[in-house]
Amino acid sequence: MIRSEILKDIAPILRDKLVVCNIGIPSQELHAIDDQPTNFYMLGTMGLASSIGLGLALAQPKPVIVIDGDGSVLTNLGTLPTIGNNAPSNYILMIIDNGSYGSTGDQPTYTGMKTDLAGMARAAGCDNVVEVQDVDTGEALQKAIEDGVATVMVVKCDSGNAKMPVISMDPVVIRDRFMKAVAG
Amino acid sequence: MNIDKKIADDLVANDIRFVTTVPCKQLAGVIEEVDQRDDIFHIPSNKEDEGMGLCAGAWMGGKRPAIIMQNTAIGVTINTLATLIQYYRMPLPMIISYRGELREPVACQVEMAVHTKALLAQLNIPTYHFHWQRDVEEFDNILKYTFMCNKPVAILTDANFWGGYGDQ
Contact residues for B77 (Cβ-Cβ < 8 A; gap 6+):
B48, B49, B52
Q: Do A58 and B83 touch (CB under 8 A)?
A: no
A 113-142: CB under 8 A from B: none
For chain A, the domains span: 3-183
Q: Of B18, B55, B88, which has the smallest distance from its Cβ to A175's Cβ?
A: B88
**Pairwise CA distance, residues B75 & B116, whole Å:** 8
Q: Does A44 touch chain B (CB under 8 A)?
A: yes
Check residue A158 and report its DSSP letter: B
Q: What is the mean pLDDT of residues A60-89?
A: 98
**Nearest CA among A23, A7, A12 for reference residue A167:** A23
| Band of pLDDT at residue A30, cut at 50, 70 and 90 | very high
Buried b (16+ CB within 10 A) or exposed e, B92-104: bbbbbbbbbbeeb
Alpha-carbon span B119 to B20, nearest angstrom: 22
Closest CA to B20 of B6, B33, B31: B31
Residue A60 to residue A57: CA distance in whole angstroms: 6
**Which of A19, A39, A56 is the best mutation test for B, with the most CBs of B within 10 A?**
A56
- Interface size A-B, in CB pairs within 8 Å, comes to 114
**Of the candidates B73, B66, B59, the residue with the CA atom closest to the CA atom of residue B10:** B66
Nearest to A172 by CA among A43, A12, A36: A43
The pLDDT tens digits of the residues spanning B31-88 come to 999 999 999 999 999 999 999 999 999 999 999 999 999 999 999 999 999 999 999 9
What CATH number labels A3-183?
3.40.50.970
Helices (H) and strands (E) in chain B, counts: 7, 6
Q: What is the pLDDT of residues A150-159, one digit of tens each?
A: 999 999 999 9
B81 to chain A: closest CA residue? A45
Closest-CA residue in chain A for B16?
A59
ipTM, interface predicted TM-score of the complex: 0.97
Which A-chain residues 64-123 have CB contacts (< 8 A) with chain B?
Answer: 76, 78-79, 81-82, 86
Q: Per-residue pLDDT averaged across B111-127, rounded?
A: 98
Superfamily assignment of B3-99+114-162 in CATH? Thiamin diphosphate (ThDP)-binding fold, Pyr/PP domains (3.40.50.970)
Mutate to test the interface with A, among B43, B50, B78, B89 (most CBs of A within 10 A): B50
Q: How confident is the model at residue B1 (pLDDT cuts 50, 70, 90)?
A: confident
CA distances to A178, B63, B131 from B18, in Å = 19, 6, 26
How confident is the prediction for chain A on average, in pLDDT?
97
pTM of the complete model beyond 0.90? yes
In chain B, where are the structural domains located? Answer: 3-99+114-162
- The C-alpha atoms of residue A9 and residue A12 are separated, in whole angstroms, by 8
